[in-house]
């Protein structure tokens, strides 16, 4: 949330802010592919440590850089922090490991708890940003760099159970026709959803609220902390709901109404109305995240899980990267409704298409019931 405001204070135009956020989204997902390839040689723990160092570099760049070009390049590491909890170089390593160390019957709940932990940390970060009107933004990015160093150290203390059970080429899934066909269809749908999501990424929404209603970090920080807490609650509910009605049903039946609420944000006459619609939307909008994570790792063989997460994540991230650029241009032109109309409308199309194509394709652990 702080990134967009910091870039504006540094003198970047709305278009350059959108470009920076877009670069961050695209790089985060492409580095997921690199993380899988490196992990096939070095192991997941060492690769996670390398990714943590990327966090540290990003934090130092944002804290110390003065030139526009260096600020824009802060996203190149893939650790700008504008992606959702299931995009980036961490996800292709963490999610397959989680699927392998939990029993099939508890997998949905485990992914809900996995998303919950990320959501709570996100809420804490948003609350801390509320102090940005007192503390310089630079201090928060230095803290981010320090957390990156800690993130680089912690994986080295993990048990060897998090490593891949079978040594195999990183992207052997591409050689199996059935797996490739499954991933191709899902990736196309996820790309549509992610492209739409790029219009309404959190960093874009915070900048939109600032530009549309003139609110600052002291208001946006607590607001996004509250939104993150709602998301965290929804992750726990999602894990339990998907065990009852199925993963695909959970993805669609919670996502569709949230996108109707997103359209209503665009026509909000006041900041209070916009916040109300956002609160309702965030209570539902991310319930599909743990369900999607569990679904992706459960429709391919265990050896293909890391590749499946990385490939679908890369497609999602690259597609999502275009959204902030277009949203930034729209906000700069005072076309404030366009990001929400585009994001909400395309997401509704995605929901309908996903249900039509995959409602009868159950995940591995769902078929066993």
Q: Where are the alpha helices (DSSP H) in 65-104?
A: 68-72, 91-101
Report residue 292: phi and psi, to 5°: -65, -40
Reference 99, options 309, 302, 361; nearest CA is 302
Q: What is the pLDDT of residue 116?
A: 85
With beta carbons less than 8 A apart as the criterion, state whether 343 and 208 touch.
no
Q: What is the pLDDT of residue 351?
A: 95
Residue owning tokens 């366009």: 338
Question: Over its length of 369 residues, how does the chain's per-residue pLDDT go in tens digits?
Answer: 567 777 777 777 877 877 777 777 777 778 888 888 888 888 888 999 998 898 898 888 888 877 777 877 777 776 776 555 566 788 888 888 888 888 888 888 889 888 888 878 777 776 666 655 545 667 788 888 899 899 999 988 888 888 877 666 667 767 777 778 888 899 999 999 988 887 887 777 887 888 888 887 778 878 877 887 888 888 888 988 998 899 999 999 999 999 999 899 888 889 999 999 999 998 888 899 899 989 998 888 877 888 888 888 888 877 877 776 777 776 666 566 788 888 899 999 999 999 999 998 888 777 655
Residue owning tokens 């040594």: 167
Q: What is the pLDDT of residue 277?
A: 92
Tokens describing residue 107:
């997998």
Task: Write out the H or E segment, with its range, that includes residue 64.
Answer: helix 44-64
- Sequential DSSP letters for 41-62: HH-HHHHHHHHHHHHHHHHHHH
214 burial level (CB within 10 Å; 0-12, 13-18, 19+): exposed
Q: Please state, as a whole number, how many other Cβ atoms lie within 10 Å of the Cβ of residue 309.
A: 25
CA separation for the pair 271, 278 (Å, rounded): 10
Distances (CA, A) of 141 to 192, 236, 332, 353, 368: 32, 30, 26, 40, 47
CA separation for the pair 2, 209 (Å, rounded): 13
Tally: H helices and E strands in the chain: 16, 0
With beta carbons less than 8 A apart as the criterion, state whether 207 and 73 touch.
no
Handedness of CA 301, 305, 309, 314 (dihedral sign): negative
Q: What is the pLDDT of residue 368?
A: 54
Tokens describing residue 115:
């998303």
With beta carbons less than 8 A apart as the criterion, state whether 221 and 1 touch.
yes
Distances (CA, A) of 246 to 94, 320, 356, 365: 23, 26, 15, 10
Domain 2-367 belongs in CATH node 3.30.428.10: no
CA atoms within 13 A on the CB side of 48: 20
Region of residue 81 (phi > 0: left; psi between -120 and 50: alpha; otherwise: beta): left
Single pTM value for the model: 0.75
């Amino acid at each position: 949330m702080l990134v967009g405001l910091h870039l504006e204070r540094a003198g970047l135009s709305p278009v350059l802010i959108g470009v920076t956020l877009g670069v961050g989204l695209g790089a985060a997902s492409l580095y997921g592919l690199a993380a899988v390839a490196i992990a096939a040689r070095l192991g997941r723990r060492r690769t996670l440590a390398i990714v943590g160092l990327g966090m540290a570099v990003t934090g130092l760049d944002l804290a110390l850089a003065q030139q526009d070009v260096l600020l824009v390049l802060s996203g190149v590491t893939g650790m700008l922090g504008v992606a959702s909890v299931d995009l980036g170089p961490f996800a292709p390593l963490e999610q397959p490991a989680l699927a392998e160390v939990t029993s099939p019957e508890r997998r949905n709940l485990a992914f809900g708890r996995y998303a919950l932990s990320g959501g709570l940390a996100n809420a804490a970060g948003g609350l801390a940003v509320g102090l940005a009107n007192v503390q310089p933004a630079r201090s928060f990015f230095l803290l981010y760099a320090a957390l990156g160093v800690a993130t680089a150290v912690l994986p080295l203390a993990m048990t060897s159970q998090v490593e891949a059970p079978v040594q195999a080429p990183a992207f052997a899934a591409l050689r199996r026709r059935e797996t490739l066909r499954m991933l191709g269809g899902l990736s196309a749908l996820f790309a549509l959803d992610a492209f739409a999501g790029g219009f309404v990424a959190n960093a874009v929404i915070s900048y939109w609220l600032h530009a549309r209603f003139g609110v600052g970090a002291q208001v946006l920080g607590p607001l996004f902390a509250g939104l993150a807490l709602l998301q965290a609650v929804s992750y726990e509910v999602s894990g339990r709901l998907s065990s009852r009605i199925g993963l695909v049903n959970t993805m669609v039946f919670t996502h569709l109404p949230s996108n109707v609420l997103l359209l209503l944000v665009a026509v909000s006459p006041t900041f209070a109305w916009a916040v109300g619609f956002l609160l309702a939307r965030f209570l539902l909008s991310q319930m599909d995240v743990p369900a999607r994570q569990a679904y992706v790792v459960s429709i391919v063989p265990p050896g293909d899980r890391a590749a499946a997460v990385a490939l679908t994540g890369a497609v999602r991230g690259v597609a999502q990267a275009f959204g902030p650029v277009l949203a930034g241009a729209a906000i700069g032109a005072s076309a404030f409704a366009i990001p929400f109309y585009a994001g909400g409308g395309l997401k509704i199309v995605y929901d309908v298409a996903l249900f039509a194509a995959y409602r009868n394709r159950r995940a591995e652990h769902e078929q066993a019931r």
